A = this chain, B = another copy of it.
Amino acid sequence: MAKTAALPASDATDRAGRRTGLEREDIVAAALVLVERDGPAALTMRRLATELDVGTPTIYWHIANRDELISEVVRMQSSRLAEIKVTGKTARERVYRAARHIWTSSIEHRAITSLAHQAGMSSLLTHHLEAALVMELEAAGLVGRDAAEASRAILSAIVGALVIALRDVSASPPDYRPDALWATTDAQITPATRKALRTASDLDALSAVTLRAVVDHFVPA
């Protein structure tokens, strides 16, 4: 069984005299470093154990599952992202900036974003940022279902762009890559458009434009 989550007192030297002094938090922190350094696939229990100079069962004493480990890693990253200062004159602008911040930080820590996303925990990762977004939405006059809907629509726009930005093109065989697909398609498309579809786009700019459109649609001027 795993240790209970919240300890009553942990005054630094509380339970330090044990074997290695390994704490739940240390494991999570090491996992976070491992993911950011070597990518999401590198987060295996054995590799993490080696990194901590420990046997695998030691990790399982502190943490129940790999899933729990991942959610803990994501949560730690989420709380690190917590501090934001949203600027902007109009309420609309502030909502946009808050949304944009979710995109920026997700791209900045793409390894953990991928990990969270892969484990279906993207909402956990962005929760604090989402809370900030909701606060700005309320400041802009949206309350209740309106605020919730707007928040979800904005988040979905961000996630969509993230998925496209972070996908691993090298996973699919060369013939099935987007550019090859558009080169060989038999659809009746203008050569100019075809060429534009083949070239990689600036997803950062695209996300900004889409975000602006969605925000403008939901937030009154």
Contacts and interface: CB of A to CB of B under 8 A. Distances in A.
Contact of A164 (B121, B156, B214): B156
B145 A196 contact: yes
A143 B189 CA distance: 9
A143 B138 CA distance: 39
Contacts of A168: 120
B156 A160 contact: yes
Nearest to A185: B131
Given A117-B163, A217-B213, A206 B149 contact: yes
A71 B161 contact: no
A102 to B, nearest CB: 12
B201 A119 contact: no
A181 B147 contact: no
A121 B176 CA distance: 9
Interface string A132-165: 1011001000011101110111011111110110
Contacts of A104: none
A90 interface: no
A23 interface: no
Given A160-B161, A213-B213, A178 B143 contact: no
Contacts of A147: 190, 193, 196-197
Given A122-B163, A131-B185, A156-B206, A143 B217 contact: no
A190 B206 CA distance: 32
The 6 closest A-B CB pairs, nearest first, are A160-B160, A148-B196, A213-B217, A156-B160, A131-B187, A144-B192
Given A131-B187, A147-B196, A213-B213, 12 more contacts: A71-B176, A120-B167, A120-B171, A123-B164, A127-B181, A134-B197, A138-B193, A149-B206, A151-B197, A157-B214, A213-B217, A217-B217
